[in-house]
Structure 1
Amino acid sequence: MTKSKKNEFRPNDFIVYPAHGVGQIMSIEEQEVAGLKLELFVISFEKDKMTLRVPTNKATDIGMRQLSSPDVISRAMTTLKGKAKVKRAMWSRRAQEYEQKINSGDLIAIAEVVRDLHRNDDQREQSYSERQLYEAALERLTREVAAVSGGDEVAAAKQVDEVLLSRAA
């Protein structure tokens, strides 16, 4: 294992874990599992009241990453402004694609889901599953925007909302 990979993440860093979004590394601990010593990142997802232990040598392989740069955040905002791209595929197929994008941990892909599933007041209603996917994507996007800009989720939600509303005008 290369030293640089291990030092990429440190305690107190905010990170993005593909399947769960933004978390914070609380510590690095050693545990013995099946007779082997394992070094683990202890990651807290405060909003979900969840703690995850990830082997330090597997973190990058599973897609754990640093928070996006401000540049990526602005690209995500630009993505939100775009026109919704809705394929004519069956909903089950599209839902699967949206879910994969949300769990990819890729902020631009998540922004695409928010863009494609966003509804204005005058548009048809969303189905329950559309709403669930939309809210999951919106939450991931908002949390990362908040973490990058210093942690105010209310301000981040307002920022995302304004971009979505400006698109409608």
Structure 2
Amino acid sequence: MFSEEQLVVYPAQGVGRVERIETQVIGGASADFFIVRILSNNVTLMVPVKNAANVGLRPLCTAEQGAAIIESLKDRSDFTGYTGQNWNRRYREYSEKLKSGDLADVAYVLKELLLIGQNKELSFGERRLLEQATSLLTLELALALDKDQQEIKDVINEIFADVLQPKPEE
């Protein structure tokens, strides 16, 4: 399924590299594990080979998929906006999307939070989710598109320049 040195994505953790595949005996049973080091924080994960798909371990997106994700950020027609839904419900919904491991879901959370932040102050939890979504998205896109992570952040900032403008003091 995955090979040593391959870049993979672990949901909510982000991009990692398969350092090795090893067999360990646990409770008398032998099992194979992917040893994955997460690039952003240097954490090492042991992912059972048999369970890798169930936990959402997936290959890095392709350059084509990455370009499509960037294009999707430009489309605001799917923006649900701040519909009176309380921040707690939004927080749970967005957390689930980040845990899904689906890059389109991560992009959705980033876009929604940036656009919501245009009209109201984000809660502390929402700001943390925005930081997490930004980190997850920019690192994977940078690697997929062979760019620097800051270049991807700059592209996102350009897409949302109208939203990210400082608000005039009232």
TM-score, structure 2 as length reference? 0.85
Alignment map for 1:92-107 (pairs within 5 Å): 92-107=88-103
1:55 aligns with one of 48, 60, 68 = 48
Instruction: Give 1:158 shift.
Output: 1.8
d(CA) in 2 for partners of 1:122, 1:94: 16
Report how far residue 152 of structure 1 moved: 2.2
Q: Tell me which residue corresponds to 2:152.
A: 156
- Cα offset, 1:166, TM superposition: 6.6
Partner of 2:60: 67
- 1:25 partner SS: strand
Give the 5 Å matches for 1:8-87.
8-83=1-76, 84-86=79-81, 87=83
Question: Structure 1 pair 166/70, CA: closer, same or farther in 2 (3 Å)?
Answer: farther
Query: Any conservation in 2 of the 1:22–1:143 contact (CA below 8 Å)?
Result: yes
CA distance, structure 2, for counterparts of residue 11 and residue 150 of structure 1: 20
Q: Percent identity?
A: 30
Query: CA shift at 1:81, angstroms?
Result: 1.3
The correspondence for 2:113, drawn from 117, 122, 127, is 117
2-side partners of 1:168 and 1:154: how far apart? 16
Distance in 2, matches of 1:72 and 1:166, equals 25
Q: Secondary structure at the match of 1:57?
A: helix
1:3 maps to none
Q: Which amino acid aligns with 2:131?
A: E
Q: Matched residues in 1 for 2:4 and 2:163: separation? A: 39
Deviation at 1:137, TM superposition (A): 0.6
Letter in 1 for 2:28: G
Paired residue secondary structure (1:130): helix
Taking the aligned partners of 2:147 and 2:7, their CA distance within structure 1 comes to: 10
1:81–1:167 Cα contact (<8 Å) kept: no
Tell me which moved more, 69-78 or 23-32.
69-78
What is the rounded CA distance, in whole Å, between the counterparts of 1:12 and 1:145 in structure 2? Answer: 18
Runs of 4+ deviating beyond 4 Å: 119-123, 166-169
Measure how far apart 1:128 and its partner are.
Answer: 1.1
Q: Is the 8 A contact 1:75 1:108 kept in 2?
A: no
| Change over 3 Å in CA distance of 1:90–1:122 after alignment to 2 | closer
Q: Residues 118 and 163 of structure 2 are in contact (CA less than 8 Å); yes or no, is this contact kept in structure 1?
A: no
